Amino acid sequence: MMRKILFWLAVLAAALMFVFLGWAFSQHGTIGLVTVNGTFQKLFIILGVLGLVLLGLALFEWRLQARKQKSTTNILSTAVRILTVLGIAIFVFGFFYVGIIPGPLEAGQTPQLLIESGSGINGVPNMAVTYRTPKPASDTLIWGSDASAVTLKETTPAREHIFSLTNLHPDIRYWYQINLGQKEYFNSLPAAGEPLHFAITSDAHFGSGDSQNNLTEEMLQQIANPANHFNLLFSMGDLVEHGFTDSQWQQALQAVSAVTENIPTKYAVGNHDTILGGLNRWETYCDPAGIPLQNGTQLYQRFDDGNVHFLVIDLEWSAEDFNSAQSAWLEQQLAGIPKDDWTIVIGHGFYYASGSIVDGWKWYDNKETTDKLTPIFEKYGVDMVFSGHDHQMELLQKSGVSYVIAGTFGGALDPQRTYTSPESVWYSSTNFGFADVTINGNTADLVFRAPDGSVINSFTIPKN
């Protein structure tokens, strides 16, 4: 009887290893993870091999025991028992730690002012105030300016709250107030032709043991400071180390709320945000499904402020998510933008870059992204393309397109490059920081800033 139970336990453990693998590969981003990250690639292969070995050994042991060959089965049995325990332990780890069954989403959350896709009727984008409450509630939001106010009431109790602020006028000081609580103030984006000032940040990696999130908080203070007049914030991915760990999201959202409550914000998705089931959390916290969509999807979309057009794209590990649907959407959007307007692409993964080889993958000039995307950028005269992923600052230029790697917003700095991209104009891997950009007429001022706000380097980028 015991023999039978142990045999079926071994079969169950092997099956659980395959269930874990199957689940992992059904998750968004896993193909990119194993393509780029040699460590995960080896881990998944080892897991698959262990599952097969366990199954094979258990069957072999069963046959030997049936023939009563005791001396051989003792060693075999020990191996099968060890692998059985390991298989079950891996599954339990996956179940509870990685979140095959997702843990609860964050109970409470500070409101964020997110930029909606498309544009409003006055040439500036609509905004959405989003937050989550610990329990379902029907909330009320009042918003307006000195001139007028609008009351928005929810009719159905929910934990996720989304209030869309539409028909905004350019460069007006507005306020919003939830359930008659404290008034929060924000400025709508400037009118066409007026200077537009934004911060581009990437790779804060909250939750990683080697990230310096005290510096992230210092930079957020710089961006939040009204004296610095930032019109909007981009967070370009890898906000957290493990997208499946809710506590990391809570830590990150708490920190960024210093900015996102009052400065219009747009998130792009990064490979760490969506890792092993993290996509659900990224979408919930960074671009909830209920926000009206004028184009694209939750993961990639365009918004327009006057004659400046932003295309926020989904480029995580490499170009694995740049599928035909996203490519067609990108080309369709770019084709409709007037040549004299500014076109700016924002996404996590890089194209041209200096760097080095890590875990067997070249963290520099990425042939997959340069082959698939840069011909599109060149064809439509894209002006600037921002990315992160590489934890460094770099400006590269090719065929009129300026590529900017915005610096790390707290994640550990990359090692000094061993490869220099032929397109590189300037490179630094010794500074944390972010990119500060002002579009003004036919030029863009690009400033790489350190955590204390000081200038590391600056460039004037002409319109392409």
Residues forming contacts to Fe ion in the complex (CB under 5 A) are 203, 238
Q: Distance between CA atoms of 33 and 277, rounded to whole angstroms? A: 12
User: Which of 343-381 are b and which e, b meaning 16 or more Cβ less than 10 Å from the residue's Cβ?
Assistant: bbbbbbbbbbbbbeeeeebebbbbebbbebbbeebeebb
Q: In the sheet where 424-428 sits, what is the strand order?
A: 301-305, 308-312, 342-346, 384-387, 401-406, 393-398, 424-428
Contact 328, 381 (CB under 8 A): no
- Minimum distance from CB of 203 to Fe ion (Å)? 4
Nearer to Fe ion by C-beta: 211 or 333?
Answer: 211
Give start and end residues of each alpha helix (H) in 322-395: 324-335, 367-372, 374-379
- Give start and end residues of each alpha helix (H) in 245-366: 246-260, 279-286, 324-335
In angstroms, what is the minimal distance from the CB of 286 to Fe ion? Answer: 15
CB nearer to Fe ion: pick between 200 and 308: 200
Residue 321 vs 383, nearer CB to Fe ion: 321
| Closer residue to Fe ion, CB minimum distance, 105 or 412 | 412
When the beta carbons of 238 and 246 are compared against Fe ion, the nearer one is: 238
Question: Residue type at 198?
Answer: F
Bridge partners for 355 per DSSP: 419
Between 116 and 390, name the residue whose CB sits nearer to Fe ion. Answer: 390
CB of 240 to Fe ion, least distance (A): 10
Nearest-approach distance from CB 20 to Fe ion, in angstroms: 25
**Nearer residue to Fe ion within complex by CB, 287 or 316:** 316
**353 neighbors 405 (Cβ within 8 angstroms):** yes
Q: How far is the CB of 388 from Fe ion (least distance, A)?
A: 6
249 phi and psi angles, rounded to 5 deg? -65, -40
**Cβ–Cβ < 8 Å for 86, 50:** yes
- Residue 371 CB, shortest distance to Fe ion, in Å, is 22
Q: How far is CA 435 from CA 201, 326, 448, 455, in A?
A: 7, 26, 5, 10
The minimum distance between CB 270 and Fe ion, in angstroms, equals 6
- Which residue number is nearest to Fe ion in terms of Cβ? 238
- Smallest distance from Fe ion to CB 353, Å: 13
Of the candidates 405, 409, 403, the one whose C-alpha atom is nearest the C-alpha of residue 433 is 409
Q: Cβ 336 to Fe ion, closest distance in Å?
A: 32
Comparison of 238 and 436: residue with beta carbon closer to Fe ion: 238
- Residues 287 and 298 sit within 8 Å (Cβ to Cβ): yes
CA dist., res. 219 & res. 410, Å (int): 9
How many other C-beta atoms lie within 10 A of the C-beta of residue 39?
Answer: 12
Distance in Å, CB of 200 to Fe ion, minimum: 14
Query: 79-114 b/e with 16+ CB inside 10 Å = b?
Result: ebeebbeebbebbeebeeebbbeeeebbeebebbbb
Q: List helix spans (H) across 151-308.
A: 213-224, 246-260, 279-286
User: Smallest distance from the beta carbon of 205 to Fe ion, in angstroms?
Assistant: 6
Q: Which is nearer to Fe ion, 264 or 349 (CB)?
A: 349
**Dmax of the chain from CA atoms?**
91
Closest CB to Fe ion among 57 and 253? 253
203/423 with CB nearer Fe ion: 203
**Cα-flanking dihedrals φ and ψ of residue 364, to 5°?**
-155, 180
